[in-house]
Structure 1
Amino acid sequence: MDERTGLRERKKHRTREAISNAALELFFEHGFDQVSISRIAQAAEVSRRTLFAYFPAKEDLVLHRIADHRTESARIVRDHPDAPLDALRAHFMDGLDRRDPITGLCDVPAAVALYRLIMGTPSLAAGMLRYREASEVALADALRPHLPGLNARLAAAQIMAVQWLLAEDNQRLIADGTSADEAYPAAVDAAGQGFDLLSAGLGRALSSG
């Protein structure tokens, strides 16, 4: 990448972040459905056309914040082909230690506000389901060296269900006012139980790949 290309990419990134930040500020203050695209474009000092070039749908202004994690579980499996389930467990536990928002155990005000916005807005909650489905498809593809067709899909569904349930339980606790530090011991225990169940059902099949 030459210097000119790098400069363009950095400018695009700054513009994208400015649009998203302006949108979230308005959404947090007024609600997702009450804020128009025109108002967001005006706040970000861009045209509607520029806004849609970065975010084709209004929901993308919010959901892009978690989109980078869509293939995270699949990446972990590909990086650890000898023990994919152990690697997923270790990654989730490390996320709890780091208070990674993707585990739900994060009480940073912006992360809590984002969770409440998504869960309180039907179109955003539906977008989260599509995100989960995409994560599941990517994970199933990563598991295929270990398991054939349908079995890979079934295994991916089970793994994603455990990870999402754990994260959702953590998010609810935080949204209700429990601090991340207070919730941490129970979150670790719950994650251990969840991954123990996965290991009991899938461990042999995945370790034999």
Structure 2
Amino acid sequence: MAETMGLRERKKLQTAMRIYRVAVGLFVERGFDNVSVQEIADAAEVSKMTVFNYFGTKEDLVFRPMEEHFGDAARAVRERQPGESAVAAVRRQFLEMVESRDPSIGLNPEPISRQVRELVRETPVLMERAFVAAQKGTRELAGLLAAETGDLMQATIAAATLSAARNALIEEHHRRIAEGVSPDQVTADAAERAGVAFGLVENGLKDYGVKQ
């Protein structure tokens, strides 16, 4: 993306990323609640006002770069081609993100995405915001499907199931890397795991978990 930007836009992006990385580093080191915006500004060598110009709130310093991804599934469904099912669209998008090792699904080798995840899990106010953002994304997906099909109940079930499949895959990526599996290895079989996960959604659960 930076290659298509002008000099001014690139400088703004670089400044935003510097502030973001400094903020995350301080939050990880000392805890989200123990770091002030002024301390972040000082460490990033910018003014406090500059921090707020790029990130509207302290919580935005964690969420702004990734919050748009809570709506990825809805975006995949909205932009799908005629004849493509909702499951196929979400699966295709997810596989494209696997291919590019998108940080939002836990496959980027840089540790910052995993640091942010742990930071969110350890900070109640951030966990609450993550939950609200995730629910908003699922409701957006349900709304799109309901508008097309006319059945809100089924659309809500479909949206929740698709979101759950994506979240389970992302959690699996993070879990395996945390256990010492290399990001390259996790990426190598991520497509196969995605096939299994979305296969469950596509085919339903009628043959899953039959008690022997």
Does the alignment pair 1:180 with 2:183? yes
- Identical positions, percent: 39
Q: Given the superposition, is the C-alpha separation of residues 98 and 53 from structure 1 closer, same or farther in structure 2, using an over 3 Å criterion?
A: closer
Which structure 1 segments of 5+ residues have no match?
1-5, 203-209
Does the alignment pair 1:153 with 2:128? no
- 1:39-58 aligned at under 5 Å gives the runs 39-58=39-58
- Give the TM-score normalised by the residue count of structure 1: 0.80
TM-superposed deviation, 1:122: 2.5
* Alpha-carbon contact 1:137-1:156 (below 8 Å) kept: yes
TM-superposed deviation, 1:99: 2.0
Deviation readout 1:36-91 (Å, 9 max, x if unpaired) = 12211222334434433433331210111211223222221122142121121122
Task: Report the Cα distance in structure 2 between the residues aligned to 1:173 and 1:31, rounded to whole angstroms.
Answer: 25
* Alpha-carbon contact 1:106-1:112 (below 8 Å) kept: no
Count of residue pairs the alignment pairs up: 197
Which structure 2 segments of 5+ residues have no match?
1-5, 206-212
Task: Report the Cα distance in structure 1 between the residues aligned to 2:114 and 2:64, rounded to whole angstroms.
Answer: 16
Does the alignment pair 1:163 with 2:166? yes
Q: Given the superposition, is the C-alpha separation of residues 39 and 132 from structure 1 closer, same or farther in structure 2, using an over 3 Å criterion?
A: same
* Alpha-carbon contact 1:71-1:135 (below 8 Å) kept: yes
- Give the TM-score normalised by the residue count of structure 2: 0.79
46-55 vs 104-113, greater mean Cα deviation: 46-55
Q: State which of 116, 121, 124 in structure 1 corresponds to 2:123.
A: 121
Task: Report the Cα distance in structure 1 between the residues aligned to 2:105 and 2:22, rounded to whole angstroms.
Answer: 26
* Alpha-carbon contact 1:99-1:106 (below 8 Å) kept: yes
* Alpha-carbon contact 1:140-1:153 (below 8 Å) kept: yes
100-109 vs 31-40, greater mean Cα deviation: 100-109
Structure with more relative contact order (C-alpha pairs < 8 Å, separation 6 or more): 1
Task: Report the Cα distance in structure 1 between the residues aligned to 2:22 and 2:103, rounded to whole angstroms.
Answer: 21
| CA RMSD across the alignment | 2.6
